[in-house]
Amino acid sequence: MSLAICLCVVGVIAIVYIALYFSSKGTPPTESPADPVVSARPVHVGRNLLLGAVAFVALDGIIFHTRLYPSILAPDSYAGRLAVITQAEKKRASSGRKEVLVLGDSRIAEGFSTAVADEVGSASGLKFVSLAEPASTIVIWHYILREVDPTAQRYSAIVVPYGIGYEPDTAGDLRISMAAPLLRYGDCFRFASAFQPWSDWFRAFTACILRGSAYQSDLLNLLQHPIGRLGSIQLEAARLRSRAAYEGRDSDIAGTSYDPKTHKVSFPPNLTEAQKQLISQSLNPRPESEREHFVKLQRGWIQLIFDRYSNSSTAIVLTPVPRSPFGELAGSSVTGDPAFPNALTKRAAFSLPEQTFNFLEKPEYYFDGYHLNAKGRRRFTERLVAELVGRLQSGDAQSRLTSVHNYLPTSGGQERYH
Partner 1 sequence: MLFNSFQYWIFFLIVVVLFYSTPFRIGKIILLCASYIFYMWWDPRFIALIITSTVVDYFLGIWLEIASGRRKKFLLGISLLVNLGILGFFKYYDFFAGSLASLLHIPESSIVLQIILPLGVSFYTFASLSYTIDVYWGKMKAVRNFIDYALFISFFPHLINGPIIRAGQFLPQIQSWRRPTAIMVQSGIILVLSGLVKKMIFADRFAVVSDMYFNHPTAHPGWLAAWTGCIAFAMQVFFDFSGYTDIARGCARLLGFEFPLNFLRPLLSRNPREFWQKWHMTLSSWVRDYVFIPLGGSRRGSLVLYRNLMIAMVLVGFWHGASWTFILFGVYQGMLLIGYRFFEQATAGTMISRIMKKRYFVPISVTLLFMSFVIGMPFIRGQNLQVSGYVLSGLFGFQHVTGEFLLTAGTLALFFISLVLAVAQERTQFIDRLALQPARIQIPAYVCVFLALELFPATGPVPFIYFQF
- Angle formed at CA 237 by CA 231 and CA 241, multiple of 5 degrees: 130
- Angle formed at CA 120 by CA 116 and CA 123, multiple of 5 degrees: 140
| Stretch touching partner 1 by CB under 8 A, among 25-33, 103-111, 148-156, 227-235 | 25-33
Spatial neighbors of 54 by CB under 8 A, at least 6 apart, are none
CB of 54 to partner 1, least distance (A): 9
Residue 4 within binding range of partner 1, rule CB under 8 A: no
CB of 247 to partner 1, least distance (A): 37
Residues of this chain, 48-77, that bind partner 1 according to CB under 8 A = 48-49, 51-53, 55-56, 59-60
**Residue 252 and residue 365 in contact, taking contact as beta carbons nearer than 8 Å:** yes
**Residue 418 and residue 402 in contact, taking contact as beta carbons nearer than 8 Å:** yes
Which H/E stretch holds residue 128?
strand 126-130
Residue 32 within binding range of partner 1, rule CB under 8 A: yes
- Angle formed at CA 171 by CA 166 and CA 175, multiple of 5 degrees: 100
Among 62, 220, 339, 386, binds partner 1 (CB under 8 A): 220
Residue 2 within binding range of partner 1, rule CB under 8 A: no
Residue 19 within binding range of partner 1, rule CB under 8 A: yes
| Stretch touching partner 1 by CB under 8 A, among 215-223, 229-237, 336-344, 403-411 | 215-223
Residue 30 within binding range of partner 1, rule CB under 8 A: yes
Residue 372 sits at φ, ψ, to 5 deg, of: -75, 150
CB of 73 to partner 1, least distance (A): 14
Among 88, 152, 171, 210, binds partner 1 (CB under 8 A): 210
Among 88, 152, 174, 219, binds partner 1 (CB under 8 A): 219
Among 2, 94, 151, 224, binds partner 1 (CB under 8 A): 224
Residue 22 within binding range of partner 1, rule CB under 8 A: yes
Residue 169 within binding range of partner 1, rule CB under 8 A: no
Output the CA–CA distances (angstroms, integers) from residue 364 to 237, 319, 354, in the order listed. Answer: 33, 22, 20
CB of 61 to partner 1, least distance (A): 12
Spatial neighbors of 309 by CB under 8 A, at least 6 apart, are 152, 158, 316, 347
| Stretch touching partner 1 by CB under 8 A, among 41-49, 78-86, 248-256, 408-416 | 41-49
Among 1, 2, 4, 24, binds partner 1 (CB under 8 A): 24
- β-pairing, 98-102 vs 126-130, is parallel
Residue 45 within binding range of partner 1, rule CB under 8 A: yes
**Residue 253 and residue 368 in contact, taking contact as beta carbons nearer than 8 Å:** yes
Amino acid identity for residue 211 in this structure: R
The upper half-sphere exposure of residue 185, i.e. CA atoms within 13 Å in the direction of its Cβ, equals 7
Pick 198 or 269: Cβ nearer partner 1: 198
**Residue 125 and residue 98 in contact, taking contact as beta carbons nearer than 8 Å:** yes
| Stretch touching partner 1 by CB under 8 A, among 37-45, 76-84, 348-356, 379-387 | 37-45
Residue 23 sits at φ, ψ, to 5 deg, of: -80, -10
Pick 35 or 273: Cβ nearer partner 1: 35
Output the CA–CA distances (angstroms, integers) from residue 380 to 179, 347, 394, in the order listed. Answer: 27, 26, 21
CB of 35 to partner 1, least distance (A): 5
Handedness of CA 291, 293, 296, 298 (dihedral sign): negative
CB of 323 to partner 1, least distance (A): 33
- Angle formed at CA 253 by CA 249 and CA 257, multiple of 5 degrees: 155
Among 95, 122, 170, 216, binds partner 1 (CB under 8 A): 216
For residues 26 and 348, give the distance between their C-alpha atoms in angstroms, rounded to a whole number. Answer: 82
Residue 21 within binding range of partner 1, rule CB under 8 A: yes
Return the closest-CA partner of residue 141 out of 155, 124, 126, 127: 155
Alpha carbon 182 to chain centroid, angstroms: 11
Residue 17 within binding range of partner 1, rule CB under 8 A: yes
Pick 219 or 265: Cβ nearer partner 1: 219
The upper half-sphere exposure of residue 124, i.e. CA atoms within 13 Å in the direction of its Cβ, equals 23
Among 3, 4, 28, 274, binds partner 1 (CB under 8 A): 28
Pick 31 or 273: Cβ nearer partner 1: 31
Among 4, 123, 223, 245, binds partner 1 (CB under 8 A): 223
Residues of this chain, 291-320, that bind partner 1 according to CB under 8 A = none
* Binding site residues, partner 1, CB under 8 A: 15-17, 19-25, 28-33, 35-39, 41, 43-45, 47-49, 51-53, 55-56, 59-60, 173, 199, 202, 210, 212-213, 215-216, 219-220, 223-224
